[in-house]
Amino acid sequence: MIKELDAIKFYEDKLYEILDGFDFDKVHEVMCTLNWGWVNIGIPSKEEMIAHIHYLYNSIKERIIKHEYCYCNSGGFKLSFNPNEDGELSLVFELESYSVYDD
């Protein structure tokens, strides 16, 4: 149980490191320029974006603690965890993407 508690604390610290380094002001500026709002909120404030990232994190926290690849995305944000990349926890604001697969 102690090991799991250590992992929870470790990744919560990593989440706060991401939140401290992420440029939410730039994202807000892009959203204002594009008039890109969220349902029932409109263009979110920095505080609303941070609360949303916490929501995304809580959605995948159990899988992170188990060291499983996972991601959650919503509102233009994608929070992902990749145990194969030295346990990378990553936050991206995605404006455009396109994928194809070899059926």
How would you write the chain as a 3-class SS string? CHHHHHHHHHHHHHHHHHHHHCCHHHHHHHHHHHCCCECCCECCCHHHHHHHHHHHHHHHHHHHHCCCCEEEEECCEEEEEECCCCCEEEEEECCCCCCCCCC
Domain membership of residue 103 (yes or no) is: no
Boundaries of domain holding 77: 2-93
Whether residue 35 is contained in a domain is answered as yes
Residue 101 domain-assigned (yes or no):
no
Domain membership flag for residue 39:
yes
- Check residue 103 and give its pLDDT: 72
Which residues of the chain fall short of a pLDDT of 50?
A: 1-2
**Total domain count for the chain?**
1
pLDDT of residue 1: 44
